[in-house]
Amino acid sequence: MSKIESLLERVIEENKVRVDLVEYIRFRGVDARLYAVKSPGRRLDTYLVDTWESREIACKPEVVGEEFLELNFRASFKVAKIVLSLLEERKPLVILHILRASKGYMFHRALKHLGIPFREVSVRVKYEEESYRDHVERKPKVVYRDFRDLPGENLILLIADTVATGLSAVAALREIHEELSERGGAIAQLVLYGFLSEKGLEKVREYAESIGVDKIYAFALQDLTPLAYNNYDMPLYGPDESYWTAYGKLKYLGAVVGLETFKEMFLQYAPGMDQPGDWSERQPRLFNGYDYEQGDIRRHLEKSLSMLRSLLEITRRAPWFSSEIEEIYVRRIEELKKAIMKYS
């Protein structure tokens, strides 16, 4: 066994990375790995989708701007073919955009490219105060809605968004459910796509089942993530930086992930780093419901750099820390510095 293989095994064991909870599914004609997550949920089918593009996004916070959108489009284009194979063709497909961030997943563009008919509706959900890396105390509030294209019949609803606590998704779902009920329709099938946490997915599942959704499909990019103490960070594995900051104690987190996916990410991903990052600010432009505005890319890069430096110091205390893992941090830090220079 090589040194890297031995290190990888130790990291999986000590961070409780759950590679045993997934089953590989062969899906022909798509350049992506697909895993089914073993789950007792009767109405929920959870899949992990690993593409090269989403792997770059998850491991490299320096990926921003037009490159970020292009990678998201290519990932969505691949996954859309899998998603469409599971849906009822006779029911209308509606995409619910949760503004400002969700359009960055580019799933709507992928469907257009594939020639798939669908409708689009929008909701903007805001936390009452600044919420970067802190959803512990704050609650989401719907501040904008556009349901002009919503049909008054039973439909398939697709949400491409980052689901951390699940509170924003539930707030958006509640809004559209109430509108649909008034029009005599309902959500027959719900599809979630994006970076998804276990906690957030469970919250959405509970609400969706309570309003009578027949079937829920969840397509998590790369892994089904744990959720950090701050209810924001969604790491692949590693120390919980927010827990360390609060209590000065090490707490390790581990995702549900396919072994081959984990191997592919292992030498690129800095332990403890939030995989989706500040999704809104990684985008060059954002639709807020009324107009377009620029994403604060430099802000995302600078905060990611600060987070990486903090994580490196924390991770040095871990028994599985090694020179190979330090090299990953150093590489990501250097790439972030280069990216910041471009946005100076």
Q: What is the pairing mode between strands 119-127 and 93-99?
A: parallel
Q: DSSP code of 229?
A: T
Tens-digit pLDDT string for the chain (344 aa): 799 999 999 999 999 999 999 999 998 888 999 999 987 667 899 999 999 999 999 999 999 999 999 999 999 999 999 999 988 778 999 999 999 899 999 999 999 999 999 999 999 998 876 555 554 556 888 889 999 999 999 999 999 999 999 999 999 999 999 999 999 999 999 999 999 999 999 999 999 999 999 999 999 999 999 999 999 999 999 999 999 999 999 999 999 999 999 999 999 999 999 999 999 999 999 988 888 889 999 999 999 999 999 999 999 999 999 999 999 999 999 999 999 999 88
pLDDT at 136: 53
Residues 6+ apart with CB under 8 A from 148: 121
pLDDT at 135: 47
Q: DSSP code of 42?
A: S
Burial of 26 (0-12, 13-18, 19+ CB in 10 A): exposed
**Alpha helices, DSSP H, located in the chain:** 3-14, 52-59, 65-84, 107-114, 167-183, 198-210, 241-247, 259-266, 297-315, 323-342
Respond yes or no on whether the N-terminal peptide bond of residue 33 is cis (omega within 30° of 0): no
Q: The whole model's pTM is what?
A: 0.95
Q: What is the number of alpha carbons within 13 Å of residue 170 lying toward its C-beta?
A: 19
Q: Which string of DSSP letters, residue by residue, matches 260-329? A: HHHHHHHTTPPTT--SS-STTTTSSEEE-SSSEEE--HHHHHHHHHHHHHHHHHHHTTSTT--HHHHHHH
DSSP helix/strand/coil, 192:
strand
pLDDT at 231: 96
Give, for 138, the enclosing helix (H) or strand (E). Answer: none
Q: Which residue is associated with the tokens 């890297």? A: 4
Tokens of 137: 């105390």
Q: Which residue is associated with the tokens 């996004």? A: 57
Tokens of 36: 């089914």
| Alpha-carbon span 37 to 223, nearest angstrom | 10
Amino acid at 183: R
**Cβ neighbours, 10 Å, residue 50:** 23
- Alpha carbon of 211 to those of 40, 97, 174: distances in Å? 20, 20, 9
Tell me if 235 sits within 8 A of 222, measured CB to CB: no
Q: What is the number of alpha carbons within 13 Å of residue 122 lying toward its C-beta?
A: 14
Angle at 155 between CA 182 and CA 187, to 5 degrees: 60
Q: Which of 95, 124, 58 is nearest to 293 (CA)?
A: 124
